[in-house]
Amino acid sequence: MSAATPPTSVSTSPTAGSVWRGGRGVLAIALLVLVTAVVPVLLSSPGTGDRPLDPADSSLQGGKALAQLLRRHGVSVERVESVSAMAASAGPDSQLLIGDTVALSADDARVIAAAGGDRLIAGPQTHLDILAKGVLTGKDVRSRSREPGCALPEATRAGSAFVGGVSFVAPAGAAGCYPAAGRPTLVRHTVDGATVTVIGDSAFMTNMRLAEDGNAALALNLTGAKPRLIWLTAPEKPVTGVTGTGEGKTLGELIPDAVPWAMLQLAVAVAVVAVWRGRRLGPVVAERLPVVVRASETVEGRGRLYRARRARDRAAQALRAAAIDRMAPRLGLPPTAAPEEIVAAATVRTGREAPEVRSALYGPAPADDGALVALAGQLDTLERQVRDS
Amino acid sequence: MALTGRAGLLAALGALVVLVAPAPPVAVLGLALLLAVLVAVDLLLAGGVRGLRLHRDGERLVRLGESVTVGLVVENPGRRRVKGVVRDAWPPSAGAAPCHLKLDVPAGQRRRLVTTLTPTRRGDREAVTVTVRSVGPLGLAARQGSHLVPWSVRVLPPFLSRKHLPGKLARLRELDGRHPALVRGQGTEFDSLREYVVGDDVRSIDWRATARRSDVVVRTWRPERDRRVLIVLDTGRTSAGRVGVAPHPGQPSGWPRLDWSMDAALLLAALAARAGDRVDFLAHDRTVRAWLSGASRSDLLSSLVNAMAPIEAELVEADAPGMVSAVLARAKRRCLVVLLTDLNAAAMEEGLLPVLPRLSSRHTVLVAAVADPRVADMASGRGTAELVYDAAAAERLRGERRWITARLRGQGVEVVDAPPEELAPALADAYLALKAAGRL
Where in the sequence of chain B do the CATH 3.40.50.410 domains occur?
225-436
- The residue of chain B with its CA nearest to that of A377 is B382
Boundary residue ending a domain (A206, A232, A258): A232
Q: How many CB atoms lie within 10 A of CB A198?
A: 28
- Please state, in angstroms and rounded to a whole number, the distance separating the CA atoms of residues A212 and A201: 15
Q: How many CB atoms lie within 10 A of CB B403?
A: 17
**Is B304 in CB contact (< 8 Å) with chain A?**
no
Say which of A12, A311, A370 has its CB closest to residue B129: A12
**CA angle, B286 then B292 then B297, to 5°:** 155
Strands of A214-337, DSSP E: 228-232
The partner residues of B148 in beta bridges, in order of sequence, read A10
Backbone angles phi, psi at B311, to 5 degrees: -75, 130
Per-residue pLDDT, A2: 41
Pick from A232, A225, A76: nearest CA to A152: A225
- Please state, in angstroms and rounded to a whole number, the distance separating the CA atoms of residues B153 and B168: 32
Residue % of chain B over a pLDDT of 70? 95
**Cβ distance of A9 and B383 shorter than 8 Å:** no
Per-residue pLDDT, B219: 78
**Do residues A214 and A343 share a domain?**
no
**Do residues A225 and A345 share a domain?**
no
**Cβ distance of B393 and A300 shorter than 8 Å:** yes
- Residue A74 domain-assigned (yes or no): yes
**Is B129 in CB contact (< 8 Å) with chain A?**
yes
Give the HSE-up count for residue A244: Cα atoms under 13 Å, Cβ half-sphere: 15
B68-75 and B2-3 beta bridge pairing:
unpaired
Q: Which of residues 271-290 of A touch B (CB under 8 A)?
A: 272-273, 275-276, 279, 281-283, 285, 287, 289-290
Q: Which range in A89-98, A222-231, B108-117, B213-222 is most confidently predicted, on average pLDDT?
A: B108-117
**Is A255 in CB contact (< 8 Å) with chain B?**
no
- Residue A204 domain-assigned (yes or no): yes
Boundary residue ending a domain (A232, A267, A283): A232
Pick from B265, B294, B315, B305: nearest CA to B156: B305
Residue A325: domain span: 309-388
Q: What ipTM was predicted for this assembly? A: 0.77
B364: CB partners within 8 A, 6+ apart: B334, B335, B336, B337, B414, B434, B439, B440
Say which of B55, B91, B100 has its CB closest to residue A285: B91
Strands of the A175-180 sheet, one edge to the other: A76-80, A228-232, A94-98, A118-122, A194-199, A183-191, A175-180
- Residue A322 domain-assigned (yes or no): yes
- Please state, in angstroms and rounded to a whole number, the distance separating the CA atoms of residues A369 and A381: 19
Substitution target in B389, B390, B395 with the highest count of A β-carbons within 10 Å is B389
Per-residue pLDDT, B188: 58
pLDDT for residue B377 is more than 70:
yes
B350-363 burial: b if 16+ Cβ within 10 Å, else e = ebbbebbeebbebb
- Residue A37 domain-assigned (yes or no): no
- Residue A48 domain-assigned (yes or no): no
A136-146 and A161-169 beta bridge pairing:
antiparallel
**Is A11 in CB contact (< 8 Å) with chain B?**
yes
**Do residues A209 and A352 share a domain?**
no
Q: Which CATH class is domain B1-156?
A: mainly beta
User: Would you write out chain A's pLDDT as a tens digit for each of its 389 residues?
Assistant: 344 444 467 888 778 888 889 889 999 999 999 999 888 877 765 544 556 777 877 778 788 888 888 888 888 888 888 888 888 888 788 888 887 767 778 888 888 888 777 888 887 777 777 877 778 888 888 888 888 888 888 888 888 888 888 888 888 778 888 888 788 888 888 877 788 888 888 888 888 888 888 888 888 888 888 888 888 877 655 444 444 444 566 777 788 888 889 999 999 999 999 999 999 998 899 998 888 889 999 999 999 999 999 999 999 999 999 999 999 999 999 888 899 999 999 999 888 889 999 999 999 999 999 999 999 999 999 999 998 87
**Do residues A79 and A170 share a domain?**
yes
Pick from B139, B127, B101: nearest CA to B3: B139
What's the topology of domain B225-436? Rossmann fold (3.40.50)
Where in the sequence of chain B do the CATH 2.60.40.10 domains occur?
1-156
pLDDT digits (tens, 9 = 90+) for B78-107: 899 999 999 999 999 999 989 899 999 999
Boundary residue ending a domain (A232, A256, A281): A232
- Residue A365 domain-assigned (yes or no): yes
Structural domain count of chain A: 2
A107: CB partners within 8 A, 6+ apart: A241, A242
Q: Which of residues 393-412 of B touch A (CB under 8 A)?
A: 393-399, 402, 406
pLDDT digits (tens, 9 = 90+) for B313-348: 999 999 999 999 999 999 988 999 999 999 988 889
A327-332 contacts: CB < 8 A, separation 24 or more?
A327/A382, A327/A383, A327/A386, A330/A386, A330/A387, A331/A386
Per-residue pLDDT, B304: 94
Per-residue pLDDT, A308: 94
Substitution target in A13, A265, A309, A314 with the highest count of B β-carbons within 10 Å is A265
Per-residue pLDDT, B186: 39
Q: Which of residues 89-108 of B touch A (CB under 8 A)?
A: 89-93, 100
